[in-house]
Amino acid sequence: MMLENRTAVVYGGGGSIGGAMAGAFAAEGARVFLAGRTPAKLDTVADSIRAAGGQAETAVVDALDASAVNDHIDAVAEKTGSVDISINLITQEAIFQPLADISTSDFVAAIGKALTTQLITTKAAARHMVKQQSGVLLFFGGSDHANTSPSMGNVQIGMDAVESLRRQWAAELAPHGIRTVTLLTGGIVDTFPDSPEWEGARQGIIGASPFKRAATMADVGNVAVFVASDMGRSITSTQVNISVGACYG
């Protein structure tokens, strides 16, 4: 198994993408710790992982609370002996409006919250990974420099900001044997609500791909496993494009 004896912490583990990654990690032998704010969603993912023969534990953790995050990751490290993989899948509050129509306070709050939770969870994991002189920090979203869509509001700006944060972490943590990689996505359409309002966005993502298809949650999990495993040990300080050619970051 590609991740046997590894410990993976997934913030936002009760969500669709978090659950897909956690399930993929567990299927390859990782012991997965799901953190989030909604117990029922976390339990659903954990039950699915256990039913498939994997190892999963849950904890209610507010990823904007540094003390709670640090207490949780310290407990994980004490229990397993290491923190090998960490990813924060808590998304920013998306405001799909022209920038001129978004209030300054709403814009700043959304970007600030996204950066704050990423900074808190990455600092917590890095503290243990530096001691180990190993580990993989995964990010999700990424920066698409060719994006020219007028409909993205604060969304791409927030992902660009997080990607800038990831680049700085890469520069500081590489000397400690820690890899930092972003999975660059153009959108995972099978997570979208099944409603007419989302059909345009779904078709836009599919149409932007030269293959005329979009990455699935299974694709996300498979690539995350590869990147986090020793098979991906040469990949760091970069983005891995999982957009089926829709993004050019």
- Side-chain half-sphere exposure of 68, counting CA atoms within 13 A: 12
d(CA 160, CA 139): 12
Q: Which long-range contacts (CB under 8 A, 24 or more apart) does 227-234 make?
A: 227/136, 227/138, 227/181, 227/183, 228/3, 228/6, 228/8, 228/25, 228/84, 228/85, 228/136, 228/138, 229/2, 229/3, 229/28, 230/2, 231/2, 232/179, 232/181, 233/179
Helix (H, G, I), strand (E, B) or coil at 88: strand
Helix (H, G, I), strand (E, B) or coil at 214: coil
Q: What is the pLDDT of residues 29-46, one digit of tens each?
A: 999 999 999 999 999 999
- pLDDT at 148 (0 to 100): 66
CATH of the domain at 119: 3.40.50.720
- pLDDT at 38 (0 to 100): 96
Give the count of domains, the chain.
1
Residues of the chain with pLDDT under 50: none
- Side-chain half-sphere exposure of 87, counting CA atoms within 13 A: 32
Residue 1 lies in a domain: no
- pLDDT at 249 (0 to 100): 60
Helix (H, G, I), strand (E, B) or coil at 87: strand
d(CA 155, CA 167): 19
Q: What is the largest CA-CA distance in the chain?
A: 51
Residue 247 lies in a domain: no
- Side-chain half-sphere exposure of 30, counting CA atoms within 13 A: 30
Backbone angles phi, psi at 215, to 5 degrees: -65, 145
- pLDDT at 165 (0 to 100): 96
- For residue 164, the enclosing domain spans 7-241
User: Which amino acid is located at 151 in the chain?
Assistant: S
Residue 146 lies in a domain: yes
Residue 249 lies in a domain: no
